[in-house]
Each structure stands twice: as C-alpha cells, then as structure tokens.
Amino acid sequence: MTTKAKEEVKSKSKTKVQDNLSLWNKVQTSKSETLKGVNLGRKFKSINAHSQVMAATEQFGPMGLGWGYEPTYEEIFGMLRCQLKMWAIIDGQRSEFYSEGGCAIEPVAGTDAKSIRRAAMANSDIFKKATTDALTKGLSVLGFNADVFLGLWDDNKYVKEQERQEQEERDAQLSNIPKREVAPVAPVVEVPVSTISEHEVQGIIKLAKQAGTPLERVMKFAKVEALADIEAPDLITINAKLNGVITKFKEQTNASAN
C-alpha cells in the first residue's frame, strides 16, 4: 500500500471515529446546576434525571416520537429491578438498547399498623426511583453526562474550567440582551400664568369696599404687591371669599333690623 493510500485510509478512519462520537461529544458535558453531591459512604455526583430527559428531547425530539422506553419490573433479593427497553431515532435510524436499574425495597419491620405504614411510605415511589436509575444508566451509554461517569467531576481543575465556561456563557447571554431605549425627556416648558385685567381689578376694589376688607389684606392673601399682579386662578378664590363676607354682613344686618 502506497503512502498516499495509507493516508486516505487513516483520514477515513478518523472521520468515521468523529462521526461515531458526534452525539457523544454533544451531550457528554454536564452543567453544574444539574448535579448534586451525594455522600453515602462514598462521595459521588447525582444527576438531575429531568435534565437528562430534557437533553434527550433536545437531541431526538419529544418522548414517544424521537425516543422512549418500555419498562419491566422484577423483585429480586429485596430489590426492585427495572429493565428498560430503550429506543431512539439517531441519524434517521431507530436504535434499540437495554438498561437496568434498581432500588432497595424497605422491609416491613413488624406486623403492627405503624410498621406497615412506615414501609408503605418508604416504598411509595420505589418504581419511580428504579425507573430513574435505569434511565440515567441507559442514557449514559449514549454519552449523556459522560463526564460524570468518567469521574471528571472529581478533578478540581475540570470543575473550575467548567465553572469558568458556564460563567462566560452567562455573561454572553447578558451581553446579548438588547438595551432598553429610554425616550428622551421633553424639556419642561414654563407656561406663563396670566394676570387679571383692569376691569377685574376694579371688581375686587368694589367687593373689598362692600365687605369692609382693606385692599392690603387682599394683596397679602394673594402674595402680591399690587392688585394688577394677582394671577387669574386666584381671582375666583378672592371673589368667593369677599362675596362670602358681604353675604354674612347682610345676614347680620337683616337679623339686627328684625
């Protein structure tokens, strides 16, 4: 075989390996928020099962259309054993494989009602636990969360690098948020307040005389130095007050006459 032919075979082999690992490489990296530390005699990372379901749906499509599983259960040696017949549409072809998982069955400590109730409570979601265990293991053979099963999350350097990349992703997402456009604030335009006319000034003088109110008191009330400086909005108030005084004066005069 010539050197050129060897290089072609090597290149094709490398391409095939890359194709075989295409799905694995897409799903092997775990997000820190989907992992939880567990210490049951030994320390390990527990994977959020629903995050795996979401990741599988992202790759294959909705469950039942792009992927799925059929469970069977068996009780053996104090364990509930779950076997999943799993399938997924990968590159247009249906792939089928099996996975097993299990969960310990809580024994009944006695024949009294309290013991039976305690065991029933402990075993209430045992089928869910066994199915979740089998599902996690089944998806792992396709590469989902492979970094956990390969023990990479036990390496501090790997953990720090993942945290750095996740922070960069969050920063990038924040930077892509469009800035809110703030409408320019219109300048405040001071509207001049009109003052009263000469005719209205004479009206105030007439009312003040009838009410027996000094004009100085009227100007003090309006906070002006001249009647002509009284603003139009204040005119109504001043006239109302003066008319009130006049009316009251008339009522007192009529009462005295009677």
DSSP SS3 for 203? helix
End-to-end CA distance of the chain: 141
Q: CA-CA distance, 131 to 101, in Å (whole number)?
A: 7
198 exposure class (CB count in 10 Å sphere: 0-12, 13-18, 19+): exposed
Domains in the chain: boundaries: 24-159, 198-252
Measured in degrees and rounded to the nearest 5, phi and psi for residue 210 equal: -65, -35
User: Looking at domain 24-159, does it have CATH number 3.30.390?
Assistant: yes
The per-residue pLDDT string of the chain (258 residues; one tens digit each, 9 = 90 and over) reads 666 555 655 555 566 677 889 999 999 999 988 888 876 667 778 899 899 999 999 999 999 999 999 999 998 888 889 999 999 999 899 999 999 998 888 777 667 766 667 767 767 788 888 999 999 999 999 999 999 999 999 888 998 998 898 888 888 877 776 766 766 776 766 656 567 888 888 988 888 888 888 888 888 888 888 888 888 888 888 888 888 888 887 777 776 666
